Amino acid sequence: MRSSRSLFCVALALMLLVSIGGAMAQEQEEAKWEPWGPHVDEIFMPIYSNYGSQISAFQRGELDVMPGMTGSGDVVRVKETPNTDIVTNYGFHMYYLCLNTKRAPLNADPLRQAIARLVDRDRIVSEVLQGYVLPLAYFLPPSCAFHMNNLPAPAYDPGKAAEVLDSAGYKMDIATKTRRDPATGRPMREMRILAASSSVGPDIGRILEEACWSIGVPVKTAIVDFNTLVQRIDKRDFDMFFLATNMDQRGTSLYDFFHSSQDLAGSDNRSGIRDAELDRALETLYYALDLETARGAAGEAQLLLSKRVPLIPIYSRPHIDAFRSDRFTGYVPMDGEGAAKNMWTLLGIRPTSGTGGVLRWPLTAEPSTLNPCTLTTAYEREVLTKIIDSLMATDPVTLEDIPWMAREWEIGTWEPAKDKRGTVITWHLRDGILWQDGEPFTSADIKFTIEYLKKYKVPNFAKNVQDIVKVETPDRVTARVYFSTESSEHLYHADLCFLPEHIWKSVWNYKTFSPWQQRHPKVKDLTRLIGTGPFILKEFSPGKHVRLVKNPLYWRLNPPDGAEN
């Protein structure tokens, strides 16, 4: 049962949402969007070392967009800036503490269960984030289809945490004032929580440190820069860390985060959890053919996770985005993705007067890679999603799948073996789509990409391609993708970040390939980082900025006469 204090925090957060975005529902209903664009000539993305300097730059008029605000102080500062429009949408965001289940002493369930009872979400939300987020004790945010707030979730209770440890044999060592690890008989070593210096992690870490030491659990927050944090996570060189992510609407991100098959370098199972019972529930979710089966499996998986505690959810942040309304219009509110970072805003945003122009859009951290096979952070995705495109898109109002580079698709079945059924996804591509160097995008690129990702076992896409048996291309605009299993999710698995065959066919080591740093072999002013999306990478100046320019070959640049979609 939720405490009255927690209910107060939720109510406060919801009131604040209403106060800064009271017209949200109405705006969403009246939001106008169009599948054509882009309408700006360039996106200039300066890189900021900290969030405060980014806010100050917006106030000085040096930025046109302020995406993803969190703290109340930031929102107030931006709201007081003249000619500012703030748009609020619910999202799939989750800020969490990940625990390394493979490293002692955190490889013991009772210790992780105790730490879960030492996370004071109400204090974190009120003191660190001033009520502008929602406390989250569950493994999927409220906007996800299978969010379940009726499952048991450990509330903040240091007394109960101490009881858990006492029962498991973690006795207090009087000399060190820390508990003895029953596995070694010695006082537990000091565990470190990695927290990015540019985030709220250090402040949250101090609150958790205090709670842990109060019952003899030695914990200290280690503040590092964001790129160092990512590198250490990738190497699994951590005890615990704070990080944020976006879960997916359908809840299958649970599979990515917690299935044993995803416990490999570069994948999302960073806790290293391996549990056969959990795997079975996640596989049922992953391969479900109907909604009720998926819902039941998602509930079972979340119940098991609440017992094993490889990860501790802390809060979920709504999208709070600001725009300079005197300079730009055409941004589109969208639940799940927010107004700033959805594709319809990318296409629709335009100057309030005149045409073209430069849109100034901040990056909170420097991308460490712009290789789609090795990207790991939201900041890298923020650049790449403006360069690449997908076969399907999401309607910003209904959130339903709609045709994009594929004009239509079919979902069928086949027999990969006797008495076994698998899914077949048939894509029918739009004709005339070009890569940014002028080469045609065809079904051959789909086949090449899938075979490349399977051949080199690229972790970023392991889940997508692991069940694909073969790809057929009966003609240049038709691709049939055959899976060894049946699942409604295979439609989404077959919609990948596609690689241009004529660029990537000579790349045998994707890990060392830096396409953004290498000149295009044929086209002047292009790099080997090309996509089919609305913007082209023009310049990446490390520590300074990323510059993108409009793709003159973009297939949705201008609507044909009489076109509606």
The residue written with tokens 């009966």 in the block is 474
What is the per-residue DSSP string for 490-513? Answer: HHHHTS-----HHHHTT-S-TTT-
Q: Could you give the percent of the chain with pLDDT greater than 70?
A: 93
The residue written with tokens 């079975």 in the block is 280
Give the pLDDT band (50/70/90) at residue 71: low
CA distance 565 to 553: 18
pLDDT at 14 over 50: no
CA angle 384, 388, 392 (to 5 degrees): 125
Q: Name residues whose C-beta falls within 8 Å of residue 14's C-beta, 6 or more positions apart in sequence.
A: 134
pLDDT at 289 over 90: no
Beta strands 172-173 and 406-417: pairing type? Answer: unpaired
- Is residue 318 within 8 A of residue 333, CB to CB? The reply is no
Q: Give the other-Cβ count within 10 Å of 126's Cβ.
A: 17
Mean pLDDT, residues 33-52: 93
pLDDT at 72 over 90: no
pLDDT of residue 565: 56
pLDDT at 193 over 80: yes
Mean pLDDT, residues 152-179: 94
pLDDT of residue 207: 98
User: Closest Cα to residue 83, out of 416, 394, 328, 296?
Assistant: 328
345's tokens: 């805003």
Across the chain, which distance is largest between two alpha carbons, in Å? 81
- Residues forming a β-bridge with 241: 98, 194
Q: Could you give the percent of the chain with pLDDT greater than 90?
A: 76
Mean pLDDT, residues 331-339: 92
- Is residue 345 within 8 A of residue 29, CB to CB? The reply is no
Rg of the chain's alpha carbons, rounded to an integer?
Answer: 24
88's tokens: 């609020």
3-state secondary structure of 59: helix
Give the pLDDT band (50/70/90) at residue 9: very low
Which residue has better confidence, 68 or 193?
A: 193
227's tokens: 């790129």
The string of pLDDT tens digits covering residues 309-325 is 999 999 998 889 999 99
CA distance 196 to 146: 30
State the DSSP code for 107.
T
User: Closest Cα to residue 479, out of 509, 450, 507, 455?
Assistant: 450
- Is residue 201 within 8 A of residue 222, CB to CB? The reply is no
pLDDT at 16 over 50: no
pLDDT at 445 over 60: yes
- Please give the mean pLDDT across all residues of the chain: 91
pLDDT of residue 31: 61
pLDDT of residue 69: 84
- Is residue 196 within 8 A of residue 224, CB to CB? The reply is yes
Q: Give the other-Cβ count within 10 Å of 526's Cβ.
A: 18
**Measured in Å, how far apart are the chain's first and last C-alpha atoms?**
48
pLDDT at 420 over 50: yes
CA distance 347 to 36: 6
Verify cis geometry, omega within 30 degrees of 0, for the bond prior to 105. Answer: yes
Residue 416, CA distances (Å) to 53, 305, 515 in order: 56, 33, 37
391 CA to centre of own chain = 19
pLDDT at 18 over 50: no
pLDDT of residue 21: 46
Verify cis geometry, omega within 30 degrees of 0, for the bond prior to 351. Answer: no
pTM: 0.77
- Residues forming a β-bridge with 564: none
Give the pLDDT band (50/70/90) at residue 261: very high
Mean pLDDT, residues 417-426: 95
pLDDT at 506 over 90: yes
Q: Give the other-Cβ count within 10 Å of 121's Cβ.
A: 24
Tell me which of 128-132, 184-188, 382-386, 397-401 is least confident.
128-132
Please report which helix (H) or strand (E) contains residue 446, including its range: helix 443-455
Mean pLDDT, residues 173-193: 96
**Dihedral sign from CA coordinates of 432, 438, 439, 445:** negative
- Is residue 68 within 8 A of residue 217, CB to CB? The reply is no
Mean pLDDT, residues 405-427: 96
The string of pLDDT tens digits covering residues 340-389 is 999 999 999 999 999 999 999 999 889 999 999 999 888 899 999 999 99
Tell me which of 29-33, 222-226, 337-341, 361-365 is least confident.
29-33
3-state secondary structure of 324: strand
CA distance 549 to 358: 9
60's tokens: 């000085």
Give the pLDDT band (50/70/90) at residue 29: very low
- Is residue 176 within 8 A of residue 213, CB to CB? The reply is no
pLDDT of residue 564: 54
pLDDT at 132 over 90: no
- Is residue 45 within 8 A of residue 545, CB to CB? The reply is yes
pLDDT of residue 75: 86
- Is residue 63 within 8 A of residue 327, CB to CB? The reply is no
Give the pLDDT band (50/70/90) at residue 15: very low
pLDDT of residue 563: 58
Which residue has better confidence, 364 or 442?
A: 442
Mean pLDDT, residues 22-31: 44
253's tokens: 């991100």
Mean pLDDT, residues 85-97: 92
pLDDT at 550 over 90: yes
Tell me which of 212-226, 241-255, 500-514 is least confident.
241-255
- Is residue 497 within 8 A of residue 374, CB to CB? The reply is no
CA distance 519 to 380: 20
State the DSSP code for 451.
H
CA distance 129 to 166: 33
3-state secondary structure of 436: coil
